[in-house]
Structure 1
């Protein structure tokens, strides 16, 4: 575990007709997916929705020391890939050339720059 958590934020567009389904599945995230997120050193993971732009904003802290390795572990989990396939269908990536969460680079969710932080 690293001494300092790294903060990440990212965005993707939700197809508005899938808002109810998106909220429903996130109210009951599959235990295998939650376990994998935890095992990959992700903490304080939140997703917010803007009903005007239909943007989903996600933020989380990474407390590990090998982010790339942990993301490979995440991607190797068949239940996580099943979850991504389901939720990706309800989203539109804002990253040119992005194909899916599972495909990797370019990233499905667009990383956004932190411009202010107050600890």
Structure 2
């Protein structure tokens, strides 16, 4: 098992919309993430800076690198592109976070 943490940036005024869209996450996207080895995924919001902090737990035999070519993931990126910082392909701008402490 591996943990991956990263941050993204929400555009101003879209806090409620971001939550609404994730509360109704597409079942096919959830299924795809699980199939590729992501079994625990949380996103937190710093309301002062609109920074999104994501943490994923990933199985040892995961195929996360294969996610980026999946049409449903690309469709989700397109769906979310109007409310967050994105790259030219509409993928969210992600900045990796380094783990400094973990307690079991």
- TM-score tier, shorter chain, comes to 0.7 to 0.9
Contact kept in structure 1, 2:9 and 2:93, CA below 8 Å: no
Confirm or deny that 1:40 pairs with 2:36. yes
Correspondence 1:10-89 to 2 at 5 A: 10-65=6-61, 69-72=63-66, 74-89=67-82
Q: Where does structure 1 lack aligned partners over 5 or more consecutive residues?
A: 102-106
Could you say what the CA RMSD is over the residues aligned between the two structures, in angstroms?
Answer: 1.7
Q: What is the CA–CA distance in structure 2 between the aligned matches of 1:56 and 1:15, rounded to whole Å?
A: 10
Equivalence for 2:103? 118
Q: Is 52-61 or 17-26 further displaced after alignment?
A: 17-26
Contact kept in structure 2, 1:6 and 1:62, CA below 8 Å: yes
Q: TM-score, normalised by structure 1?
A: 0.78
Q: What is the CA–CA distance in structure 1 between the aligned matches of 2:6 and 2:69, rounded to whole Å?
A: 21
Contact kept in structure 2, 1:46 and 1:59, CA below 8 Å: yes
- Residue 58 of structure 1: CA displacement? 0.3
Deviating 4+ runs (over 6 angstroms): none
Contact kept in structure 1, 2:7 and 2:52, CA below 8 Å: yes
- Residue 89 of structure 1: CA displacement? 2.7
Q: Where does structure 2 lack aligned partners over 5 or more consecutive residues?
A: none
